[in-house]
Structure formats: structure tokens, C-alpha cells
Structure 1
């Protein structure tokens, strides 16, 4: 069903990461059977990085033709290149440095030591998206991974902040973030929602309230994750703790 939202529950973080990794490998192989290339948007954080590590550890990892996959990021911390807290560095350590992906297929945000301002960095990444775009200001994102914060934020779009409402840009600078570091870069909601498939991956009891509110129809300004939906499918991959407030009718026995 187009645009459906489903929740897949796993026993714990380890089984969650392994399951998402297996599904990612299978789906990416299917995508590349149907089209020449694939664009994947990555996230950071503990669980997002665990998924990438599980992809790397999978015996099926290289069934994917990585030369045909391009990687982007939903958001990034405004830190120097190579900083261990940057999402792109975490992704490199967990997966990208271990696979045969061409350097030109990896599209990190500019770093704080790149010699440009935060505002110019947002413009530069928007231009890079447009240069690889399909006429809508960004590439066709086949799979977009997103984490969800306890407050319901996604990427660096936070509750009660203007970022979640911006619709005329693909990338925004973020200042005074409630979560450190204070300065960040983020894709906007329309850009995230241009994705064919959005895969939200979250674990822990501290995420249960935000997930429950989002699925119950909370306002996006209050719970930003409520405003995110893939064109074809939106799947919440969660552990049992995070699923405690999810309506039973939304929990899928299989996918």
C-alpha cells in the first residue's frame, strides 16, 4: 500500500540492527535490479551506526554493487572533518571505509574547518543536492534512514523551532540546537519527504512517548517525526521498549 506506515518490533537493539541491515541489503539489491543507481540517506547516533556496522558484518554485504550506490546525510554536526562526533565519520568507521564505494559517491556536509560559514555550507550542500537532482532540488532518495530523539526530533529539526516548517529550501543551517553541538546542518522536511522510503530506526524506552504521539497524529511542530512520511513507505523499526505506546493495529507481524 502506498504511503502506509508500519511498525516492526524487535526484541532488543542487537536484533533490531541485524534485521534492518538484512532488509537494507535485500532492498538495495532489488532497487539496483530495477534502476542504474541508488541514493541512500544516512543518519548518525548509536542505533544508526549499529545498523551500518551490522551491514558491514553481514556475509551478504557485497551482494550490493556499491559502485552504484551514493550516500548522503540527513543532518550533520558543525564540527571539523574527521571529528568522531560527525555523522559522516561514524558512517565511515562503521561501513563506508570497508566497502568498494567510490569517493565521488560519498557526499558529506562541509565541515567547520572548511573555511566557509555555516550559512554558506548549507547553500553548498543544497547546490550539491541540486547538481545530482531529478528536477526537484535533490536526488531521488531510495532509502532514507532517520533516528528519532526522545523529544521527537528527526535530523536536526527540533520541536518548537522554525526548521520543521521551512519549505523553500532543501538544506538549512541550525543554530542554538537544544542538543549539542549548537550548530548543525539539516535537510528540510520537504526534502526528507521526497524520499521513496523512510526507515526510522529507534530503540529505548525514552523514545516510546514520541513514537506513540507521532503515530497518534501529533502536530509536526510539537513532534517533528509526525511530519515525516516517505512517498512509498514509512517504516518504524523499533525495539520492544520503544514500542510500548504504539497502537496495536500499527504493529506489523511481517514486512
Structure 2
């Protein structure tokens, strides 16, 4: 793993750097293999990044969009990560519908929908049983509790090592989420973190002895590059 940490002066600079790095990684992937698979995160921090990506001139037909986690709500619900990304970015560009791979939430059983999404990933990447696909770019946020995707502290999802997709739990509410080994198979993982409230968790995640069960972002240790892009409010003590 190649770990890189950058602290940007403010949130505007954080989004600008996130945009340039994301576009660079997308472009590299397309040049190297003819396509790019990118995994989106939810939350408020990446929304301006998605709005900026909507203004870029990229070969959208060569880019495939996935989600690292999703609240277990309908796709038109205000809490839907897919809905946010579509409104901010995907509805503004001419990307083929088949290149957008949202997490399903319609079976009324999150375990079944996790299996459906896992099967879609396996088919898309043509992996053999027991193999984890290597996504090109994975965008992640981090909560002030140290969670990432829907991998929350002290939850069962942190123990899943034999699946691509599992069911996360946030205060009793189910969510679909990438598993730790699937994220860690990625070629490039980019954390985008803003806000002073993230400092305590960041201090633990960057330390040598904190527990990953308590601060799940510590478990993210990809085979490829790991980028931490922080604004000054979040990263001042690093």
C-alpha cells in the first residue's frame, strides 16, 4: 500500500484537489485498460465534488459507476446516496444507463439485495469463486465516529471477510455496504474528510495502537494507493 496524506487549506481547496485527483485516476485507468470503475460515497462532503465532475469533459461511456454503500430506502428517497449522486452529477452528463450500477433496495430484505449486488459485481468483473474484484477508484468519507461506507463501530459487518457486499447497521437501520476486503482490493482509495469534528477519530485512525473495531476506517488498507485528503479543520493536528 502506498499511503499519502494531504491537508488542504479549506473545504474549497479540498474539493478542487479531490476533483483533480479523481479525474487523474479515471484518466489513468481508461488509458491503461480502456475503462474505469469508480465507487461513490454518500454524505454531504462529496456532493460538491460530484457537481464539479458534472462539468468535466470525460469519456463517460468508458466509466462505470458503483456505490460503496446505500441507505435501505427507495431510490427517490431524500436519504438515498444514489439520488444525491444522480442529481448532482449523473443526470447532468451523457453517460449510458447501463454504466450506472446502483445498489438495489427494493426486495424488502436487505440480505437478498446485498446478494443481488454481489452477483452483479461478480458478473461485471468476471471473477472466479473466492476472488474479489479490483475496482479502480473508491471514494470514501469518514464519520466523526471513524466509520466509513456503512461499516460502523462494533457492528457485525466489520467481521465479514468472505462476501463482497453485506448489511451494515446504523442505529437499527439496515444499510448495504462494501465489505472491508472488497474495498481493500481497490487500485486507489481516496478518503475525502472535512470538519473539525473529525479530528479525534482521525488521531486514532492514524495512530499505531487504536482498535479498528472502534474506528473502522483503520481497516482500510488497500493493495493499491490510499489517499487521505483533508481540509485544515480536520487535518490540523496531523
TM range (shorter): over 0.9
The match for 2:195 is 204
Say if 1:39 and 1:139, in contact at 8 Å, map to a contact too: no
Q: Note if contact 2:77-2:83 (Cα within 8 Å) is conserved in structure 1.
A: yes
In structure 2, C-alpha distance between the alignment counterparts of 1:54 and 1:101, rounded to whole Å: 16
Q: Is the 8 A contact 2:152 2:168 kept in 1?
A: no
Cα gap change, 1:101/1:137 in structure 2, threshold over 3 Å: closer, same or farther? farther
Instruction: State the partner residue of 2:87.
Output: 93
Verify the 8 A CA contact 1:157 1:186 in the aligned structure 2.
yes
Matched pairs, number: 235
Q: How far off is 1:245 after superposition?
A: 2.9
Give the whole-Å Cα distance in 2 for the aligned partners of 1:27 and 1:109. Answer: 23
- Contact 2:36–2:62, Cα closer than 8 Å, also in 1: yes
Residue 4 of structure 2 corresponds to 6
Aligned position for 1:42: 40
Match for residue 96 of structure 2? 102
Partners of 1:138 and 1:130 lie apart in 2 by 8
**For residues 97-120 of structure 1, what are the alpha-carbon distances to aligned partners after superposition, in whole Å with 9 as ceiling and x for unaligned?**
111211111110112xx2441111
CA displacement at 1:141 relative to structure 2? 0.7
Separation (CA, whole Å) in 1 of partners of 2:131 and 2:118: 8
TM-score (norm 2): 0.94
Q: Which residue of 1 aligns with 2:20?
A: 22
CA displacement at 1:157 relative to structure 2: 0.5
Q: 2:213 & 2:194 partners in 1: Cα distance?
A: 22
Question: 1:202 touches 1:242 (CA, 8 Å); kept in 2?
Answer: yes
Equivalent position of 1:157 in the other structure: 151
| Counterpart-to-counterpart distance in 1, 2:2 and 2:88 | 30
Is 1:224 aligned to 2:222, yes or no?
Answer: no
Q: Secondary structure at the match of 1:90?
A: helix
Which consecutive aligned stretches of 4+ in structure 1 deviate over 6 angstroms post-superposition?
Answer: none
1:95, distance to aligned residue in structure 2 (A): 0.8
Is the 1:211–1:245 contact (alpha carbons within 8 Å) kept by the matching residues of 2?
A: no
* Distance in 1 of aligned mates of 2:87 and 2:131: 29
Classify the secondary structure of the residue corresponding to 1:47. Answer: coil
Per-residue CA deviations over 1:14-71 (Å, capped at 9, x if unaligned) read 22112211221122112211111110000011111121112223xxx11x21101101
- Distance in 2 (CA, whole Å) between partners of 1:197 and 1:134 is 20
> C-alpha separation between the residues in 2 aligned to 1:44 and 1:87?
5
In the alignment, the residues of structure 1 paired with residue 120 and residue 131 of structure 2 have an alpha-carbon distance, to the nearest angstrom, of 9
CA distance in 2, matches of 1:78, 1:244: 35
Q: Which runs of 5+ in 1 are unaligned?
A: 247-255
Task: For structure 2, list consecutive stretches of 5 or more residues without a partner in the other structure.
Answer: none
